[in-house]
Amino acid sequence: MNSTKTHLRMTGFMNIALPLSLILLLANTSIAQTETETPFAGDRLTLVRDGKEHHLVGDIQIEAQDDSLYFVQDNGRIWFVQPDEIKERIDSDIDAPPASFEAMEKSLLEELPEGFKIYKTEHYIIAYQTEKAYAKWIAQLYEKRLYKAFQGFWRKKKLQLNDPKFPLVVLVFKSKAEYQRYVDRDLGPGQDIVAYYNMLSNRVTMFDLTAGDRRPGEQISARRIDEIFQNPAAIYMCATIIHEGTHQLMFNRGVQTRFADTPLWMNEGLAIFFEAPDLRNKSGWKAPGLVFNQRLYRFKNTLRTRPQNSIQRLLTDDDRLNNPETAADGYAEAWAFNHFLFNRKSKDYIAYLKEHSEKPALAEADAEQRLEEFKKHFGDDFDKLERAFLLYIQKLR
C-alpha cells in the first residue's frame, strides 16, 4: 500500500506501515547540509516522486539514519521522504513561515479539478465545487459553531490551545462521483467513506451531501440545507462532518500531534465525543459531549459479550477499532469511555491528554508503556475503574 495514513470514519486508521527505516536521530531540528549559510527561511527540497518534480519549502522535522526525512511543508502537508527521491536539499536555520491564505488558495485552485472556487473564513479555506450556499453552510458550521465550541470546551477544561499554524483546508466536491475520483488518488482505490481528515495533507475532504436530496433544478438555500440535515435519517451526515472537522482541530490546535503514538480509543473517542448530533438544533449539531443514543445503545448491547479486561485492551490494542468486524462496538466503547472520563475523571483525563499532546511525531509506545501512562493518571485498580465506568453508563440518559 502507499504511505498515506488517514483518518477514516468507522474503520479507524488504515493499516499502513510507516517507513520502517525511519529510525529517529533527531526531532524538531534540522542539520545544515550546505556549507554556506542560507538567508532563506525554511528548508528547501526538490523531490522526484512518481515522475513528477515537487519544489517544497518547509521544515525537516525528523531525519532518519538512512537519510529519509519527515518533512512538514509550509502548507501543513507532511511528507515521508525517501532518500532516493531527493534531488536537491538546502537547509536553513530559520523555520519556514506558514504559507499565507492567498498562496494556499492559489495552489489549491491550480491543483484541484475544474470548477472549484474558494470561500474563506478567519481560519478556514473552503475550496468548493458545489453551490456557494453549501460552502457557506459548511464554513459557518466549522467556523462559527465547531471552532467556537471546541475553544470553549477546552477553555473550560483548562487545556491551553495553540492557534492553528496553517489555514484549515476543507475540500467540498459537487458530487459523490467527483469526490470518489479524488479519494482514489488520495488514499488509493476501494475506500467508501463519506468524508475524511487526512493526516498527511491536513485537509478535510467531503462532497455536497445534499446533492441527492435536491429537487430537479433546485437552487439550494441555507434553510433547505438545514432541513435536509435535520432529517433523522441524516443523523450521521452532520455527525461525520463534525467528526472529521474535530480531528482537524485536535491536530491543528495542539491537543494532539500528527503521527504521534495516540491510542485509537482516544483519537477516535474524542472525535465521537464531539460529533454527537442534536436534531432539535437546526444544523443537526450544537455542542460537544451530548449523549449519542445510538452509540450508547450499541455499547450497552455489547456488555454481555464484552471481552474481559476490556478497558486494558482498549488502552493497549488498536485492533478492535481497526478491525471492520469489531469496529462499531469498539467505537461505541471509545465513545462511552471518553464520556465517562470527561464527566467523572476530568482532571486526570486532561492531564493524561496533555501528556500525550507533548509526544513527538513517530515515537512509538508499546502496550506496557501505554498502560503505564494511563496508570500514572488513573491509578492501577482497573476493577474499580470498570465498576465506576459501568455504573456511569447504566445511569446515562
The 3-state DSSP class for residue 96 equals: coil
Q: Which among 158, 191, 369, 342 has a CA at the least distance from the CA of 263?
A: 369
CB of 266 to Zn ion, least distance (A): 11
Residue 85 bridge partners (DSSP): none
Under a CB-based contact definition with an 8 Å cutoff, are residues 373 and 357 in contact? no
Under a CB-based contact definition with an 8 Å cutoff, are residues 185 and 201 in contact? no
Rounded CA-CA distance 58/77 in Å is: 9
Residue 239 CB-half CA count within 13 A: 24
- Closest CB to Zn ion among 225 and 314? 314
CB of 252 to Zn ion, least distance (A): 15
CB of 11 to Zn ion, least distance (A): 9
CB of 314 to Zn ion, least distance (A): 16
Q: Which among 133, 135, 282 has a CA at the least distance from the CA of 220?
A: 133
What is the number of residues in the chain?
397
Q: How many helices (H) and strands (E) does the chain have?
A: 14, 12
CB of 273 to Zn ion, least distance (A): 11
CB of 240 to Zn ion, least distance (A): 9
CB of 8 to Zn ion, least distance (A): 7
Q: Which among 5, 72, 97, 65 has a CA at the least distance from the CA of 318?
A: 5
- Closest CB to Zn ion among 175 and 294? 294
- Closest CB to Zn ion among 82 and 338? 338
The grid coordinates of residue 375 equal: 496508570
- Closest CB to Zn ion among 187 and 271? 271
Q: Which among 174, 106, 359 has a CA at the least distance from the CA of 257?
A: 359
Q: What is the DSSP string of 287-326?
A: -TT---HHHHHHHHHHTTTPPTTHHHHHHH-THHHHSTTT
CB of 271 to Zn ion, least distance (A): 5
State whether the Cα torsion 126-130-132-138 is positive or negative: negative
- Closest CB to Zn ion among 7 and 203? 7
Placement of cell 490551545 in the chain:
161
- Closest CB to Zn ion among 207 and 335? 335
CB of 329 to Zn ion, least distance (A): 16
- Closest CB to Zn ion among 64 and 199? 199
- Closest CB to Zn ion among 13 and 182? 13
CB of 7 to Zn ion, least distance (A): 5
Which residues are near Zn ion by CB under 5 A? 7, 268, 271
CB of 10 to Zn ion, least distance (A): 8
Under a CB-based contact definition with an 8 Å cutoff, are residues 228 and 222 in contact? no
- Closest CB to Zn ion among 60 and 194? 194
- Closest CB to Zn ion among 8 and 139? 8
- Closest CB to Zn ion among 268 and 329? 268
Residue 23 CB-half CA count within 13 A: 3
Q: Which among 385, 391, 387, 243 has a CA at the least distance from the CA of 315?
A: 385
Under a CB-based contact definition with an 8 Å cutoff, are residues 227 and 209 in contact? no
Residue 195 bridge partners (DSSP): 206
Q: Which residue is nearest to Zn ion (CB)?
A: 271
Q: How many CB atoms lie within 10 A of CB 77?
A: 18
